[in-house]
Chain A
Amino acid sequence: MSLYLLCLSLFLIGLYCVLRKRNIIKIIVGIIICEYAVNLFFVLVAYKIGGRSPIHSPEQAIENMVDALPQAVVLTSIVIGLATTALLIGIAMRIYQKYGTFDITKIRELNG
């Protein structure tokens, strides 16, 4: 329970950054922190006390493995996160090229 709450507080830090900051790069940082927290929460739910990693070995029979399904889901989610982050950065750099600033409140004033 306490681990879940710590993971939730990590998510909330990222949410605060997205809501409050004005720099586009800071907003991207907040989105990435939220993504880390969600990925970590999936793997936390999958953990089993005294479990082993879900990979069979030729020498010994491994019992008591951890849950493999959330790990497989997170594996695809991480790569998608990198691709969407790159897309966000491309949009941010285009905005900088056009308006000359990263500040979201000044973008409207400087159109040209």
Chain B
Amino acid sequence: MIDLHLLLIAMIIGAIIAVEVKDLLSSVVALGAVGLVLSIAFLVLKAPDVAITQLVVEILALIILIRATLRKDLPFSASGRWVLNTFIAVCFIGVILVVAYKCFKDLPEFGYPIMRVAETYLKEGLPKTGAANIIASVILDYRAFDTLGEATVLFTAVIGVLALVRRIGRKRADETISDKEEY
């Protein structure tokens, strides 16, 4: 499993660069690199469906983020209580680290999952639903309620974005004529 360790370390380095670099556009591009390495990690972990979805989602998210940050690289204001804020953040993260380490001891060891539910799906998926791809049969037949809920969340998000960008609502008097064609 040395390859997975290398991929995870590459992701951590990319994440540190994305967090610490000053320029916003560089930060977003480093985030894109993290997402692409994550896609390769999914492929190594034998999840090709998730890898394809992660790849295309990453590209679309990167385009949207770059559109948002283009020509808006503001310098950071590093003033204020730097020491106190960092101390509080590091203490909080340390507490989470200790608790999570104790939780990880109760998990099954890496590579030996408890497949009590999935065994049924893997054994009876092909004869009962007729789909060769077990993941398709899980998300659209056995657990289609999940997908229905996902569609609802997506619909709500689209309505939220469209409501955020519309111009009709609260409009000042001088803008009423000029911006009529947009929303």
Contact = CB atoms under 8 A, between A and B. Distances in A.
B61 A40 contact: no
Interface residues of B, number: 83
Contacts of B112: 48-49
A69 B135 CA distance: 7
Contact of B19 (A8, A30, A46, A105): A30
B183 interface: no
Interface in A50-93: 51-58, 65-69, 71-76, 78-87, 89-93
Contacts, number: 227
Given A26-B19, A90-B160, A4 B54 contact: no
B110 A3 contact: yes
Interface in B32-78: 34-35, 38, 41-42, 45-50, 53-54, 57, 60-61, 64-65, 68-69, 72, 74, 76-77
A57 B132 CA distance: 7
Contact of B1 (A3, A48, A55, A89): A3
A3 B122 CA distance: 26
B158 interface: yes
Contacts of A85: 61, 64-65
A36 B5 contact: no
B12 A48 contact: no
B69 A47 contact: no
Interface of A: 1-10, 12-17, 19-23, 25-26, 28-30, 32-33, 36, 39-40, 43-49, 51-58, 65-69, 71-76, 78-87, 89-94, 96, 101-103, 105-106
